Amino acid sequence: MDSLGSMQVAIKSQDEQEKMRLAGRMAADVLDMIAGHVVPGVATEELDRLCHEYIVGTQRSVPANLNYRGFPKSICVSANHVVCHGIPNEKRLKPGDIVNIDVTVIHDGFHGDTSRMYFVGKPSVQAQRLTTTCFEAMWRGIGQVRPGARLGDVGHAIQSFVEEHGFSVVREYCGHGIGRVYHEDPQVLHYGEPGTGIELVPGMTFTVEPMVNAGKRHVRLLPDGWTVVTRDHSLSAQWEHTVLVTESGVEVLTLAAHDRR
């Protein structure tokens, strides 16, 4: 472990990086698999069941979310004004809904963590714009990742792009270091000032996962202790990749099958 300021940031060895690659690909494969099932009328607990069976049965892996700090399901499904950590249930998706599915797979002791947005039927113009802006913002953040850059550069790239488009970045929830441990240092804020925060070095692995609201940035936690919603009931979108800082830049470990070289 290298001590960077007061943080203990784990630098992954070549062998650990290889295991992170595999776990990341597996998490992406779950999101590829479930895409065809995100249709009007499907219950979110059915999506959870399908993902659980695929992770456990087909991939012979472990869904990290199940029983994590008491979370009752294997995936998070967050629709419309739900920002994150939506608990799958008997509610059925409707045409026009926008949905984030967040999956973390543990394989061979390492975590792969990724989430994507899905449209249920045809989204509204605003929902489409919000989702696209969030996606672009995540990639702008990832584009800042390289040795010698700082985490503030990542947050600033995301925040400035989102706010330029008239949307807002959630501040209470952030990306995180990941490896053998699901959530480890550093915290990856999706807002910030360039040139601030810890310096990135090769072998770091962390998530970039901006949550972007159509209205104000404020959120509230529902009484179930998990589900986070926008306080003004506006739509929210999120995308997430796990990334590795390489000698020359960044490697995204959770690309969909059709985006892998």
According to the model, what pLDDT value does residue 1 have? Answer: 34
> In this structure, is residue 261 part of a structural domain?
no
> In this structure, is residue 211 part of a structural domain?
yes
Residue 195: how many other CB atoms lie within 10 Å: 10
211-240 pLDDT, tens digit per residue, is 999 999 999 999 999 999 999 999 999 999
166-177 pLDDT, tens digit per residue, is 999 999 999 999
CB-neighbour burial class of residue 258 (10 A; exposed 0-12, middle 13-18, buried 19+): exposed
Summarize the confidence of residues 10-26 as an average pLDDT.
Answer: 98
Specify whether the CB–CB gap between 196 and 47 falls below 8 A: no
With CA atoms as reference, report the closest residue to 5 among 187, 190, 191: 187
Tokens of 188: 């990856």
Structural domain count of the chain: 1
> What are the start-end ranges of the E strands in the chain?
2-4, 7-9, 62-63, 76-79, 82-84, 98-107, 110-119, 168-169, 175-177, 184-188, 205-208, 211-213, 219-221, 228-230, 236-238, 241-245, 250-252
> In this structure, is residue 257 part of a structural domain?
no
According to the model, what pLDDT value does residue 252 have? Answer: 98
According to the model, what pLDDT value does residue 6 have? Answer: 52
> In this structure, is residue 132 part of a structural domain?
yes
CATH number at residue 92: 3.90.230.10
> In this structure, is residue 171 part of a structural domain?
yes
Cis peptide before 194 (omega within 30 of 0): no
pLDDT band at 42 (very low <50, low <70, confident <90, very high): very high
> In this structure, is residue 116 part of a structural domain?
yes
Predicted TM-score (pTM) of the model is: 0.96
> In this structure, is residue 59 part of a structural domain?
yes
Whole-angstrom distance, CA of residue 218 vs CA of residue 122: 27
**Separation in Å, CA 152 to CA 88, 130, 149:** 34, 23, 8
According to the model, what pLDDT value does residue 8 have? Answer: 82
93-117 pLDDT, tens digit per residue, is 999 999 999 999 999 999 999 999 9
Summarize the confidence of residues 81-92 as an average pLDDT.
Answer: 98
* Structural domain harbouring 161: 2-251
